[in-house]
Amino acid sequence: MPTTTPALADIRRKIENRARISPDEAHILWREASDDELRALATQVRARFHSPASCTYMLMRIINYTNVCVAQCDYCAFYKLPGQEGGYVLSQQQVFAKLDELLALGGDLAGFNGGFNPHLPLDYYCDLFSAIRDRYGDKLEFYALTIAEFMYLADHANLDYLAAAERLKTAGVRWITGGGSEILTEDFRRRHSKFKYTVAEYFQAQRALVDAGLRTSATMVIGFDETVEERIAHLERTRKFQDELIAAGKGDALASFLCWTYKPYFTQLGGIEIATGEYLRHLALSRIYLDNIPRIRTSVLTQNERALEGLLYGADDFDLPIEDEVTQLAGATISLNFDRLLATARTLGFTPTYRHVATGWNQPASPQLPSS
């Protein structure tokens, strides 16, 4: 591997010695490392957690139970304001039909993602999730909401985050994903989603979820107008939060990181999509930086077949989605040709294994966390 600068050589040595890199060093890596260097370093870190040719996947759908939302993020093509034509809320029967279809296709993971709907009380969610658990038991798992929606419904119900999390847990919920994080800097949120909670509130809610015994994930979206510094600040905050969980003996509560890319079509913010090459470099940087999170997931939803190249840049896991209205309305296209997608992973030298819910779907290949 060629050395381009002494600083880069030092960083490479640190990574090889399993030492942690700083935000400044991440910046140098981003600026100075070639694609091949980033890829090789990310592959080294990946190998701490997973055997080199292994990767895992799930077949899943996102169920957009309502598109009514008051948050008005300028990067969103999905929402309708209350009272606006086209707003909807799915009934339990409509949700069951979607879950039945998922099971028939061989999938067993659903994620719920809607909006900040002021007309939906906490009981709507509790009734829905307990009905799903009653009907399907452990045949499938579901990510009930994103943290951002969870925060809104807790506020709307006048409950603190811990109390709201406990209510959902009693209804059969086990997971709330880290969605709604996008870029975790206050300035980014002021620019694009000022009604979507501060970074401090986001982590306060995520901590309450974990304290209530729920599990969660780390997420990120790139490709808006965020700076490299903002991307690295997001990674730093994510790593620090996971450090705190590990120190509290709760590191298993956050086992994965998923980054996807902004789809700009039909949004107020607009713009053009970033190149896949930039996404892959960011995946590699994330794998290197997040040395305390075992599973790094690459986004087939927003990068299609090329997302599989992420396996060469430090990712070890991916979803094969069959639906997500939020990203589809902003330009994402979904392929149901799962055989072709899996064949692509194989062509790249990986053996994809389905993480079936019924067989310990959330166990990373190597659950040992690094000591540094």
Can you give the binding site for ligand SF4, defined by CB under 6 A?
69, 71-73, 76, 78-79, 115-116, 148, 193, 196
What lies within 8 Å, CB to CB, of 371 at 6+ separation is 18
Q: Which is nearer to ligand SF4, 148 or 253 (CB)?
A: 148
**Which runs of E-coded beta strand occur in the chain?**
54-63, 109-112, 141-146, 175-177, 216-222, 254-261, 295-298, 317-321, 351-354
* Beta carbon of residue 128, minimum distance to ligand SF4 (angstroms, whole number): 18
Q: How far is the CB of 217 from ligand SF4 (least distance, A)?
A: 17
Cα distance between the two ends of the chain: 25
- What is the closest distance, in whole angstroms, from the C-beta atom of residue 115 to ligand SF4 in the complex? 4
Give the C-alpha separation, 193 to 182, whole Å: 10
Question: Cβ 180 to ligand SF4, closest distance in Å?
Answer: 7
CB of 178 or CB of 251, closer to ligand SF4 = 178
Q: Residue 169: how many CB atoms within 10 A of its CB?
A: 17
| Beta carbon of residue 230, minimum distance to ligand SF4 (angstroms, whole number) | 18
User: For 19-160, where are the alpha helices, taking DSSP H only?
Assistant: 23-32, 35-46, 92-104, 122-136, 147-156
Contacts of residue 249, Cβ cutoff 8 Å, sequence gap at least 6: none
Cβ proximity to ligand SF4: between 62 and 312 the closer is 62
Nearer to ligand SF4, 81 or 163 (CB): 81
Between 148 and 296, name the residue whose CB sits nearer to ligand SF4. Answer: 148
Q: What are the backbone angles phi and psi of residue 233, rounded to the nearest 5°?
A: -60, -40
Nearer to ligand SF4 by Cβ, of 62 and 308: the residue is 62
| Min CB(148)–ligand SF4 separation in Å | 6
231 sits in which H/E element: helix 228-247
As measured in angstroms, the least distance from the Cβ of 34 to ligand SF4 is 35
Nearer to ligand SF4, 56 or 193 (CB): 193
| DSSP β-bridge partners for residue 296 | 257
CA–CA dist 213, 40 (Å, integer) = 37
